[in-house]
Amino acid sequence: MDKATLLKNYLSVVEEIKGLSGGRNVRLLIATKMQGVEDINFLVSQGADLIGENKVNELLEKYEGYDPKVEKHFIGTLQTNKVKYIVDKVSLIHSVDKLSLLQEIDKRCAKIGKVMDVLIEVNSGREESKGGVMPEDVCDFYEKAKEFQSVRIRGLMTMAPRCQCREEYLKYFRLTKEIFDKLFGNDKDAILSMGMSESYQYAIEAGANLVRVGSKIFGERKYL
């Protein structure tokens, strides 16, 4: 994609988020899976300040090339044996859904003197093919997660099922928002990460304050 089109897409998403947010602060995370460092850094030069990678290997391959001022999150499924490779490279992990994963993050961060910010992933659609804590178990998981010294629970994340209409998306996003309010309602800095390219408008409507957008900016990914 040429730079002019890339910039046009990015600015269009930024303006749409601003219009939908109703004055709330809603951050745009640019999902950079399968995107080159040159295009990522171009968007950073145009004002983008937050990116998210899905794969550990891809994050490691690109890391030295990123513009150093951009904030980096890990947004994909994270295996415990790969935690050690990223804890010093990202500021937030979106996809925590197991105590064993939290334990490993805690152990690795303790060794480098860091407290890692994480989000609990909620399986709002109860999909067997996806990770995440079942909605009815999130509160209990949160209480156990708070016991780790080198981990800080900053909020919730969900990946809604692929839906056919606004009402279906809102059902899953509102469920997650309800749990979020119960756990973090008094925390103005808490993060509710919901919505991707096909659904971020509905996520903002339901109360998300962080949305993850990739293909709406870069175009559809071309898988080999």
Quick: pLDDT tens for 140-168: 999 999 999 999 999 999 998 888 888 99
The CATH number of the domain covering residues in 3-218: 3.20.20.10
Q: Please, which residues have CB within 8 angstroms of residue 162's CB and are 6 or more apart in sequence?
A: 198
Q: What is the mean pLDDT of residues 123-146?
A: 95
pLDDT of residue 221: 66
Burial 93-105 (b: 16+ CB within 10 A, else e): bbbbbeeebbebb
| Helix axes 3-20 and 37-45, enclosed angle (nearest 10) | 50
Q: 3-state class of 137 per DSSP?
A: helix
The number of residues making up the chain comes to: 224
Residue 121 has pLDDT above 60, yes or no: yes
pLDDT of residue 222: 59
φ and ψ at residue 94, rounded to 5 degrees? -85, -20
d(Cα 193, Cα 26) in Å, to the nearest integer? 10
Selected residue with higher pLDDT from 128 and 54: 54
H/E stretch holding 100: helix 99-112
Residue 224 has pLDDT above 50, yes or no: no
Q: Please, which residues have CB within 8 angstroms of residue 167's CB and are 6 or more apart in sequence?
A: none
Quick: pLDDT tens for 70-117: 999 999 999 999 999 999 999 999 999 999 999 999 999 999 999 999
